[in-house]
Chain A
Amino acid sequence: MQHNRPKITKDLFVHEPMKKRSAEEIEGPPSSFWKEARVRLFKNKGAVLGLIIIIIISIMAIVGPMMNNFHYDDQDLLRSNLPPLVPGMEWLGLNGENSHGTNIYEENSITDNNAWIGTDEFGRDLWTRLWSGTQISLFIALTAAFLDLVIGVLYGGISAFYGGKIDDIMQRIVEVLIGIPNLILIILFILILEPGVTSIILAMVITGWVNMSRIVRGQVLQLKGQEFILASKALGASNSQLIWKHLIPNVMGPIIVTLMFTIPTAIFFEAFLSFIGLGIQPPLASLGTLIENGYQEMRYFSYKLIFPAIVISAIMISFNVLGDGLRDALDPKMRK
């Protein structure tokens, strides 16, 4: 086996200049959970669009009523049932013509202060009422969602954190509460409390927190069994440290997602109650009362129904899409 083997000498090998610890180098800057979630959320076009619509509608709810000279309860029978008129936007149907095609503005020789989206039977400006109604609906929904959040997190957190007998008793109560169809309870409470903003909020919160508490409890129970909690405990962390440093930040994702779905539900319930006559009482307006009003007269004054219907649908769709986006962003495992 005397082959003509090429001779391998040491000088054939050259040392590659070694960078220290290059193996451990991470590509790109380290990103935190929240940063990643934000990136994921902004990649979702639907969610971003939803967020933008929510922001626009919220701004309009504040600014809208101030954009013209009317007040939401200014009555003027000379201006009753005026159709929508926006100069320059006649092609959109905002042409001041009623369902028979006569221009009411010319007929009654109203030249100043045209109503952008019309007036109701008392001559109240619907643009102003629409946005102050949105304001009230959003206020009710946000307050109810916030109260649900506080009560739900406390209840669920305490129940899961302490466990044992406390958990048993608290969960039996929850089990009875979820057995009750909440809408019926809400209606009964409104009947007793007499309709108004506060009673609507209270009635919604009475059963609304249960869902949040169940989510929080489930999450905390799951976390409690994990090693990092045990490690933290072994290192002598106090209960409050455990709760604030480990539990709350880790439960935050599901809480935000649940909150996002609570808000549209609350808007729906408010509109629903107002629609069956148990909600906000006139002259105050909410999206529900406006829709109810518009519904009564939709045959001849369809504009009274269509604009509030568009706003409430836009709000509901946006919150639902944003909620979906947030769920995908905050919980990559659940991404479907």
Chain B
Amino acid sequence: MGRYVVQRMGYMVITLLIIVTITFFLMQLLPGTPFSNPEKLSERQLELMSAKYGLDKPLAIQYMTYIGNLIQGDLGLSFQSEGRTVISMIGDRIGPSALIGGQAVVIGVLCGFILGVISALKHNTIFDYGSVFVAVIGMSIPSFVFAALMQYYIGVQWGLLPVALWKDYSYSIMPSLALSAMVIATVARFIRSEMLEVLGQEFVTTARAKGITEFVVIIRHVLRNALIPVVTVLGPLTVSIMTGTLVIEKIFAVPGLGEQFTLSILVNDYSVILGITLFYSALFIFIVFIVDILYGILDPRISMGGGKKDAA
């Protein structure tokens, strides 16, 4: 177990380093300069600006400096927002994103769980078909289409919730709902298939044969075993939520990380793009790592020696 954790952490560091390298050099290929209105600047001014941000040094030196600073938790200065560090910009923006992302996970897991359980217990009935249908819709309709339609009907036509912006709590409801559609669908489908599989196993028949009530069979034997693999969807869910926040925050004008990212792309703020990319990647890698470890702890059948990979 210990060896496995260390090995996985090694991989995490290597993966992150590769991502830093790829993104750093990709950034150099981007068209345009990182400064706003470069045509208005004199040559001397440009030189001074470049010197300030370290852009006059050779690429290799810039790369080494970046890595060096990164280890100390310094992501550099924003090119577009005067005097702001990238780390503080990420820090300012993380709150709203975490709030809507977190709410989406809670709503999604709860609703998905209920749908999935109903679906499995009432297998091949109208309830099952109904929740499968909801799940397929949730999987299929792109989150931004869903968000746009919600904004139009709930916000504009019916006026139930604020259309956009970020003032009080009620502003976070619609973005969270729009984000949760995907989560509901993923969780519902997963729980359904896991439960159906467990329901067909012999220990469930044994439990029933012993005369335990159906309720206890479901709670003690089926759900407990069906829930373990659900942990594994957390990785893909993180990705879909991150993807979702990029557009959802744009649509609902939420001042979150995703909105900052799309904004930085438009204004060529390289250091911020690089910083947010790294942040997202690190978050994703970290969550996948946690999920794998957790899964190994919860399910003793999984070997930690790496044999799991080949079982797929």
Chain A residues proximal to chain B, CB less than 8 Å:
171, 175-176, 179-185, 187-189, 191-192, 194, 214, 218, 221, 264, 268, 271-272, 275-278, 291, 294-295, 298-299, 302, 305, 309, 312-313, 316-317, 319-321, 324, 336
CB-CB under 8 A from B149, the residues of chain A are 305, 309
**Do B310 and A181 have beta carbons less than 8 Å apart?**
no
Taking CB as reference atom, which chain B residue is nearest A182? B239
With A278-B265, A298-B156, A313-B140 already in contact, 7 other A-B pairs whose C-beta atoms are closer than 8 Å? A179-B12, A180-B281, A184-B280, A184-B281, A276-B247, A295-B148, A313-B141
Pick 9 A–B contacts, CB within 8 A, sort by A.
Answer: A175-B15, A179-B11, A181-B284, A188-B273, A188-B277, A218-B310, A298-B151, A309-B145, A320-B139
The residue from B27, B29, B137, B242 contacting A183, defined by CB atoms under 8 A apart: B242
CB-CB under 8 A from B12, the residues of chain A are 179
Shortest Cβ distance from residue A111 to the other chain B in the assembled complex, whole angstroms: 31
B118 at the A interface (CB under 8 A)? no
**Do A218 and B312 have beta carbons less than 8 Å apart?**
yes
B121 at the A interface (CB under 8 A)? no
CB-CB under 8 A from B22, the residues of chain A are 180, 185
B299 at the A interface (CB under 8 A)? no
B288 at the A interface (CB under 8 A)? yes
CB-CB under 8 A from A187, the residues of chain B are 265
**Do B246 and A188 have beta carbons less than 8 Å apart?**
no
Instruction: Name the 8 nearest CB pairs between A and B, nearest first.
Output: A316-B140, A179-B15, A317-B140, A336-B193, A295-B148, A192-B29, A218-B312, A313-B141
CB-CB under 8 A from A175, the residues of chain B are 11, 15
**Do B262 and A295 have beta carbons less than 8 Å apart?**
no
CB-CB under 8 A from A271, the residues of chain B are 142, 144-145
**Do A188 and B23 have beta carbons less than 8 Å apart?**
yes
**Do A192 and B26 have beta carbons less than 8 Å apart?**
yes
Taking CB as reference atom, which chain A residue is nearest B12? A179
Distance in angstroms between the alpha carbons of A21 and B247 in the assembled complex: 69
List residues of B (125-155) whose CB comes within 8 Å of A's CBs. 136-137, 139-142, 144-145, 148-149, 151-152
CB-CB under 8 A from B284, the residues of chain A are 179, 181
The residue from A180, A191, A275, A277 contacting B144, defined by CB atoms under 8 A apart: A275
**Do A317 and B31 have beta carbons less than 8 Å apart?**
no
Given contacts A184-B277, A192-B26, contact A336 B192 (CB under 8 A): yes
CB-CB under 8 A from A336, the residues of chain B are 192-193, 196-197
**Do A302 and B152 have beta carbons less than 8 Å apart?**
yes
**Do B30 and A191 have beta carbons less than 8 Å apart?**
yes
CB-CB under 8 A from B192, the residues of chain A are 336
The residue from A180, A182, A188, A218 contacting B15, defined by CB atoms under 8 A apart: A180
The residue from A276, A302, A317 contacting B250, defined by CB atoms under 8 A apart: A276
Taking CB as reference atom, which chain B residue is nearest A267? B142
Shortest Cβ distance from residue B113 to the other chain A in the assembled complex, whole angstroms: 17
Distance in angstroms between the alpha carbons of A324 and B141 in the assembled complex: 16
Shortest Cβ distance from residue B106 to the other chain A in the assembled complex, whole angstroms: 22
CB-CB under 8 A from A324, the residues of chain B are 136
Majority secondary structure of chain B interface residues (helix, strand, loop or mixed): helix
The residue from B23, B197, B239, B247 contacting A275, defined by CB atoms under 8 A apart: B247
CB-CB under 8 A from A176, the residues of chain B are 14-15, 18
Taking CB as reference atom, which chain A residue is nearest B185? A320
Majority secondary structure of chain A interface residues (helix, strand, loop or mixed): helix
Most buried by B among A180, A268, A313, A317: A180
Distance in angstroms between the alpha carbons of A205 and B97 in the assembled complex: 29
Most buried by A among B30, B152, B193: B152
Distance in angstroms between the alpha carbons of A316 and B136 in the assembled complex: 9
**Do A313 and B14 have beta carbons less than 8 Å apart?**
no
Q: Mark B286-309, 1 if CB is under 8 A from A, else 0.
A: 001000000000000000000001
CB-CB under 8 A from A312, the residues of chain B are 142, 145
**Do A181 and B242 have beta carbons less than 8 Å apart?**
yes
Given contacts A176-B15, A179-B285, A295-B148, contact A188 B26 (CB under 8 A): yes
Distance in angstroms between the alpha carbons of A275 and B247 in the assembled complex: 8
**Do A264 and B31 have beta carbons less than 8 Å apart?**
no
CB-CB under 8 A from A299, the residues of chain B are 152, 156
CB-CB under 8 A from A181, the residues of chain B are 239, 242, 280-281, 284
**Do A276 and B262 have beta carbons less than 8 Å apart?**
yes
Distance in angstroms between the alpha carbons of A215 and B251 in the assembled complex: 36
Q: Mark B49-91, 1 if CB is under 8 A from A, else 0.
A: 0000000000000000000000000000000000000000000
CB-CB under 8 A from B148, the residues of chain A are 291, 294-295, 298, 305, 309
List residues of B (252-268) whose CB comes within 8 Å of A's CBs. 262, 265-266
CB-CB under 8 A from A191, the residues of chain B are 26, 30, 265
Distance in angstroms between the alpha carbons of A268 and B22 in the assembled complex: 25
Given contacts A183-B242, A183-B243, A316-B141, contact A305 B250 (CB under 8 A): no
**Do B18 and A277 have beta carbons less than 8 Å apart?**
no
CB-CB under 8 A from A291, the residues of chain B are 144-145, 148
CB-CB under 8 A from A272, the residues of chain B are 142, 144, 243, 247
**Do A317 and B136 have beta carbons less than 8 Å apart?**
yes
CB-CB under 8 A from A321, the residues of chain B are 136
Shortest Cβ distance from residue A296 to the other chain B in the assembled complex, whole angstroms: 10
**Do A189 and B31 have beta carbons less than 8 Å apart?**
no
B19 at the A interface (CB under 8 A)? yes
Distance in angstroms between the alpha carbons of A163 and B79 in the assembled complex: 48
Distance in angstroms between the alpha carbons of A302 and B26 in the assembled complex: 39
CB-CB under 8 A from A183, the residues of chain B are 239, 242-243, 246
Distance in angstroms between the alpha carbons of A194 and B277 in the assembled complex: 19
List residues of B (142-188) whose CB comes within 8 Å of A's CBs. 142, 144-145, 148-149, 151-152, 156
